[in-house]
């Protein structure tokens, strides 16, 4: 089962969106072009309640990109993004999504963020993606999407922890780059964890 995992290609991560990633929309034609090579295509979707603890707006006196302690873990504060049932949370309108594809949503619990498509950041709640891949007998995945330095990276690191072979497509990813070079460092970390960067 050749499987493609498409991470968070949503309006809010594209130019004009609330947490826009430079050139985020440019992954769309690439993903649409390669999906035909796969037997199964899976999409993850960042899907937050409006009072989500990762939003700076929910912490008095805090700014976007500040890092706070949230229940003992460092949490970067983000602009309000990917709020459930809003246009920003929808997939990019040109992304080719078909009826047989599956969608795994994450970040729905108010008090914990969820960068990985597999589980939340405190590693207690699973999205169901790991069980799904196991059930389908998938032992390797290809990964593309947004953003390289957050949700793509943590999805890839968890996939490696689960023992999956992973190929990450550079051309199908873009980074937030709060600090210049974050995207490149993320690729290095993924490679160090045994992912192929292609
Ligand atoms: C993401 C920051 C906050 C991502 C999601 O999809 O990379 N980044 N929520
Ligand atoms: Zn988010």
pTM of the prediction? 0.98
The residues annotated as belonging to the active site are 8, 106, 151
Ligand 1 touching residue 166 (CB < 6 A)? no
What's the pLDDT tens digit per position in 46-64?
999 999 999 999 999 999 9
Tell which one of 19, 53, 120, 154 to mutate to probe ligand 1, the residue whose CB is within 8 A of the most ligand atoms: 19
Quote the distance between the C-alpha of residue 81 and its chain's center.
Answer: 13
Question: For residue 147, is the peptide bond before it cis, meaning its omega torsion is within 30 degrees of 0?
Answer: yes
What's the pLDDT tens digit per position in 19-28?
999 999 999 9
Which ligand gives the minimal distance to the CA of 75?
1
> What is the homologous superfamily of the domain 3-47+85-197 according to CATH?
Isochorismatase-like (3.40.50.850)
């Amino acid at each position: 089962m050749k499987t493609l995992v498409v991470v968070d290609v949503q309006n809010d991560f594209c130019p004009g969106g609330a947490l826009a990633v430079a050139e985020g929309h440019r992954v769309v034609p690439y993903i649409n072009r390669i999906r035909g090579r796969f037997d199964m295509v899976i999409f993850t979707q960042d899907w937050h309640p409006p009072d989500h603890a990762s939003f700076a707006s929910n912490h008095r006196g805090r700014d976007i990109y500040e890092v706070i302690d949230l229940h003992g873990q460092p949490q970067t504060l983000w602009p309000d993004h990917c709020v459930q049932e809003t246009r920003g949370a929808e997939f990019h309108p040109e992304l080719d999504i078909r009826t047989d594809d599956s969608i795994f949503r994450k970040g729905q619990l108010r008090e914990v963020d969820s960068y990985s498509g597999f589980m939340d950041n405190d590693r207690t709640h699973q999205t169901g993606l790991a069980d799904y891949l196991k059930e389908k007998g998938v032992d390797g995945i290809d990964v593309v999407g947004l953003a390289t330095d957050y949700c793509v990276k943590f999805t890839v690191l968890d996939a490696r922890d689960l023992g999956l072979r992973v190929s990450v497509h550079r051309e199908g990813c873009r980074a937030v780059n709060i600090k210049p070079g974050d995207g490149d460092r993320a690729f290095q970390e993924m490679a160090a964890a045994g992912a192929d960067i292609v």
